[in-house]
Structure 1
Amino acid sequence: MSKERKITYVSMLTSEDTHAEYEKAVREVETKYFGKHYSMYIAGREVFSEYGEFEDRSPIDTSIIVGYFQKGSREHVREAIDKAYESFPIWANHDWRERVKIMQNASKLIDERKYEIAAIITYEVGKNRMEALAECYEAIDALRYYAKVMQENNGYEKELGPGGPGEKCRMICKPYGVWVVISPFNFPFMLANGMIQGALLTGNTVVFKPTSEAPLTGLILYKLFIDAGVPAGVLNYVTGPGDVFEDEIITNKKVAGIAFTGSRDVGMRLYRRFTSSQPYP
């Protein structure tokens, strides 16, 4: 957010422009997005599942079908991991300054489209306008902050003091590889954004699986990053039931890490299974 105007719940509540823009967006998203059939995106390619689709209905009115999304399979997530793995060497060696610019571009795009994003969040998970807009502002702040910290630390590439006599020490940011990002329903935009941007900014590639309760919010976020300049294959978008994807995510040796926000039980199960089968700390 800009330094000229501090955004708070009070400032949003008392702004007539905020209410007018949000209500306009609510009307527009109904015709622009709802009731359509949406694909997955693997290496920039639209992918439709032979296993069919699932309905995404609004919790505020279950007669409203937000959209139809793909029931992805284990084979789909494997393909997404393969493409992210293939894209990793180029992205990891991409100048960190360019990655910073892309994150800054993403923050600008979210700022431009925040009312539309907030309206979609409201329809998908039932948040009021203030909470939905707050997610957008938090995502904007996080993108700008992460980029700023990266710049302040010179991409985490700098000379350090000697560890002892005759020693020369240097810090280098080393990307890990493919990260699978699994986002929750309660903060479907802000938390997904935080996990994705952290991985991308530091040179990792991503397979993004949004919660099945907010797949359109996840798709909008995916497209924002692509529009901001993230190359096809570096970020991939898959949808479907988590239990179908779990075994592939856990056992695939091309997966370097998992970023998950959700229930404790699922998180601990993923952690235990992943660390028992993968050679990572």
Structure 2
Amino acid sequence: MSKIISISNQKGGVGKTTTVCSLAAGLKKKGFRVLMIDLDPQGNLGFSVGAETETCATIYDVLKGDVKTQFAIQKSDTADIIISSILLSGIELEFTNTGREFLLKEALKPILGFYDYILLDTPPALGILTINAFTASDTIVVPMLSDIFSLQGIAKLYEAVERVKKYCNPSLTISGILLTKFNPRTLLSREIRGTAELIAQDLNIPLFDSYIRSSVVISEAQSIQQNILDYSPKNNIAKDYLQFTDELLKKEA
């Protein structure tokens, strides 16, 4: 049975797509069968792994019931993927029926036996797409920038998770907060980590020991549609994501 992980934060630019792509690559290199699903209407994940984005079915088609889930899956060098669609941006108004929170969970049922891990790239908002992701997921990873403003949003995310646990998915957990664009050599970053630890303890959310440093090679890899582990495996950020992958696997074992 698949382990379903949402990569989520209501703030944009925190490294959700990069984390999905890098985690998928790390898991695949360890021999796991991995599927990525892009739930962000911007569709950056599909582009970053070189998926066909013009003529292939999307997760929007799947959620509408127009296409069976298995027929929307594409192969990529990083991992299998179901791409997003800009049409997802109107889903709040389009999908109004009772039970709309369970659309993704129901759509994933036919393919659960084919993958070890399904990674969900969520949009930067706590709307119905993110609620669908949380309802379908076993656990959540929260990438967070190493700045004070990012810390302020954790409580809202926690409240959204608690609501989903109450009404839709009582077994949902938060695996932890993953600090991104972290510079261990600066005093500010170390102070941010200390504050994040306090907030995490207060909300009973783990903070990963692993952190992701900042590097321009991320943008370079995305521009040529490769994951960072293939593009620059000796770079610090590739090493960081491999360490994070190992830590996540131990935590979820």
TM-score with structure 1 setting the length: 0.25
Structure with higher Rg: it is 1
TM-score by length of 2: 0.27
